[in-house]
Structure formats: structure tokens, C-alpha cells
Chains A and B, each alone.
Chain A
Amino acid sequence: GAVVSQHPSWVICKSGTSVKIECRSLDFQATTMFWYRQFPKQSLMLMATSNEGSKATYEQGVEKDKFLINHASLTLSTLTVTSAHPEDSSFYICSGSGTSAYNEQFFGPGTRLTVL
């Protein structure tokens, strides 16, 4: 299957700082990228969907000014957590979807964010 990478795999930051997470599709063009948040022992919560070159569409309850998503190219999307607080600590997972007829998403390995 197609490969999606995320960087960093884990990050620790101080409260009030901003953190950027990169998501790259390595061997396919991701026309759509998705960002999820996963709390311990829970399912994935879709945060936003972005199409290359367009503004992201955020799910209800997700603060767009806090979670900035950029999808500048067909192989790169970034999630920036601005003014992070301890409650933002979580596992963030991205996925990419190309032109598969089966709407398949390919997931990155995730980024563990810990805000102190």
C-alpha cells in the first residue's frame, strides 16, 4: 500500500508554545488529507479534512484558530497546534487519500504530543 510519514513521531513542548506536525505522502499524490486526534483507548476523532490548495474543513467543535492546517502540495500537509495547553496532549494521526476508486485512506504512524 501507499506510504504516509509523519514528523516528528513524538514531541514535548511547554504550555503556550506552538508545535508543527508534518504529514507527507511518500509515493502517491494525496488530493485529500485528513487529521485525526486519538485519546487513550478511544477511537479516532476526525478533526479536519483538507484538499490541496484549499482551506481545510473543520469538524464541529474543532477550533480552526487553534489547529491550523495547511495543505500546500499534493504530498505535504501540516498541522500546527498554536498556544498549546496540557489538554491538547494527544496522539495526532494524519491520512491521505488519492484517486483510489475505493476511497482508501493511508495512515501515517502518528505523532504523540505532550504539553507540559
Chain B
Amino acid sequence: GDSVTQMEGPVTLSEEAFLTINCTYTATGYPSLFWYVQYPGEGLQLLLKATKADDKGSNKGFEATYRKETTSFHLEKGSVQVSDSAVYFCALSEEGYSTLTFGKGTMLLVSP
């Protein structure tokens, strides 16, 4: 079955540091890939997405590139802010289906 593997957290960074959160996936078809962010006490918000190989999703300074050859969708940001502190979930959705498969989430803590 489908699965998503994320690096374990928490990831602790100082403000303005570079961020990478690794995500790899296993899927039978050609899935769409997503990053969701969850701020404390809130639901999930879609951060970015990519629907086919080599697509780059980007939003709020975050980027992730759909790499089919390495089955990866790593999240990056060049300069994190304290307000980026949250839990980040990588997810996939198989082509033609709405069901999402989530990774376990990675907590990011950014200190001033």
C-alpha cells in the first residue's frame, strides 16, 4: 500500500536558518504530493502541492520538488521565522482518488 515517510522531529532551528524536512513516498501509481502545516491547536492548512514529476510547489517561501526518480518531496525554506514553528505533514493522494495518506508529521521549532 501507499506510505509516506518523514524525518522525525523536532527540528530545532534559529531564525533565518535554512530548513529541509525530508519526505519520501511509496505509491503504485502517479500520486499528487502535498505539504500541510498545522499550527498549535488548529487544523491542517495546505502549504503547497505538486501533481506530476518535476513540478515544484511553492508558497510563503517554502518549496518542494516532486522527484519521481527518488520518490521524494522534500520541503525547503531558505530563511525560517519564529512564526513558521508548527507541525508539517507530507501527504500523497493517488491519481483519481481523494483519500490522503499522511506521514507522521515533523515538528519545527524556530527560536529567535
> Does A29 interact with chain B (Cβ within 8 Å)?
no
Main secondary structure of the interface of A (DSSP, over half): strand
Cβ-defined contact, B103 with A43, below 8 A:
yes
> Does B74 interact with chain A (Cβ within 8 Å)?
no
Contacts of A110 in B (CB 8 A): 41-43
Interface residue ranges of A85-116 to B (CB < 8 Å)? 93, 95, 97, 102-110, 112
B: interface residue count bin: 20 to 34
Cβ-defined contact, B43 with A93, below 8 A:
yes
A: interface residue count bin: 20 to 34
> Does A49 interact with chain B (Cβ within 8 Å)?
yes
Choose the segment among B13-21, B64-72, B77-85, B91-99 that binds chain A (4+ C-beta atoms closer than 8 Å).
Answer: B91-99
Interface residue ranges of A39-65 to B (CB < 8 Å)? 41-44, 46, 49
Partner of A107, one of B45, B97, B103: B45
Bound state CA distance, A21 and B108, in angstroms? 30
Cβ-defined contact, A43 with B43, below 8 A:
no
* Binary contact readout B85-112 vs A (1 if CB under 8 angstroms, 0 otherwise): 0000100010011111011110100000
In angstroms, how far is the closest chain A Cβ from the Cβ of B33?
10
Bound state CA distance, A41 and B100, in angstroms? 19
- CB-CB under 8 A for A107 and B93, given A42-B105, A43-B104: no
Other 16 A-B pairs with CB < 8 A, given A42-B105, A107-B43: A1-B46, A32-B98, A34-B100, A43-B89, A43-B103, A44-B89, A46-B100, A93-B43, A102-B32, A102-B93, A103-B32, A104-B34, A107-B36, A107-B44, A110-B42, A110-B43
